[in-house]
Structure 1
């Protein structure tokens, strides 16, 4: 399957699923039908060419699959056959259909890992194997998790209103964005998270946290082009060529943030967006307003405390008060089990030890961090940092 066809199918999948769910209301059956349609397209389109109306083609094939599933109900079958097999009966492409799927994937009956896994599968367009790789579990395990998630949605009635789930949806979109941003080979996943955040912002423009999340995504993803060098190696923020940053995305994020701050209760996404804006506004790394960033991390710690916030705050403390103070802040996380399976604590510790003039200790931490991450680019980066300290 060509890259162009794969990209098109990933774009169309949540829209087709949303249309079917809006029409029939059975998420699990509709999702299975869409997967069958995607498989058929993956086989036929590269050989026969992409149809003139690819969304209508997928809708027709998926609807036929649904009819087949429902064949025991003859009355419904006749009714659905009439609608499904008419290629001219294509409903308008409503962006809200994708949001409907997103809210269903974030149903409160599901655990947070299941919400994210189902969102990556149904909205992000990842295969079960790709979702499994993102979670570092076997494909069979992830298939079971996704199947159970769809079963729980079915048991809960397969319907869900946006209002109560907004915070959950924001969290899942945030995780989805981070998954794409961390994986240098998945810019499409990041772009999909931004697209959905835009849709959500149009749906609830008065919600400050929705606007804050969109601003955060724009201000962060603006640096994507500068995150790697010509050899594909990771480049840390302080060493990036800021001329490669996306000025239009930064301007849009800043304008959105300016309209948002003060318009409602301060939340974690607004604060994180403000921190990202300060990084983006600095003409050089040396010009970064670290005291203001540290002040914002203090706010973030009150609004949304957690080990990742403490970890990031430790870097700001080091930049304002020196690396020794930053290392002392890191020490508070040594016994936090939530960081036991991530490389980030050791990577930050290595950086701060390097700043204090302890190359041997820094090298050990870099190598330990490299062994803890599953990301090849991060492994290479951390190993190279360690090699420089020989």
Structure 2
């Protein structure tokens, strides 16, 4: 099947073959197309106590693949067919052994983690989690990242969310830093898209999108979602507008990677810039409350993604404070120790001016505190909500 995406104009060549152990048994075949699906139907008669083995082999090539000598559809069709024919000749068992060997050499052997338990599913669950992390990370290309649903479904249309930076990136940072750097390169390439979103909302710096696809696109979350079950009207997806902790999540992933790997080249030419640019966003996002003489972050939704239009979400405020504080420390460090990098980034981002704003506003940024019951309110209205028992 040859297709071209409607907006980005990316060409796809997808090839599949069904290999039967005995093709003489097949009476007829037919292709059928339904919504989002293409079927190949086969009719055959199988006598009692007889068996037939069916292997399904597929490959996908696109015009943005970097390992293709040519980008034309005709060339991709040729490559796809040649590879598929080679795989058929080798057979399923050969491909299975080759895959198992690759997993052993590239994953299981590197960092073996064993759980001693009477229940074998404990180890199975851990292996399954690692399997999914590796199977869905595009380690070959820094222009892409982990999709929110991985390879398990079509949800979120393959877009990348903040879950990657907070939950999945740390695994790769601590075990496969070369893969982690690819994921962070995706975020660096996404600075232009983050600038677009910040400017659209009348902020400065880098406001990373809640959903991102091609890194330079910026926010790609749809405005409207499914119909409300009560009103029947489309639900506005506010997360793409007011879930804003993503910027500090990206900075957290960057800082953790630098601390864990001491990758100074990445820090100088990509990492520090992301830390500064996200902190620049936050200082422009803060709202001054003259009555209480403090800066606040109002009208947001926190990481639970349910309580919309709240003020001073604790996670958001604390992560913003951490982001700004980290930027201040990095600014002072490289200004003293790496004047060349400092001068380049200062010229690009106007750091001297922004640094003064960081120092002025950070001490007055409101950080919610735990009450007498040692409960840290999720936001200003959290403890006033109705109890549901």
- Would the TM-score normalized by the shorter structure come out above 0.5? no
Higher helix residue share: 1
Higher strand residue share: 2
Q: Is the radius of gyration larger for structure 1 or structure 2?
A: 2
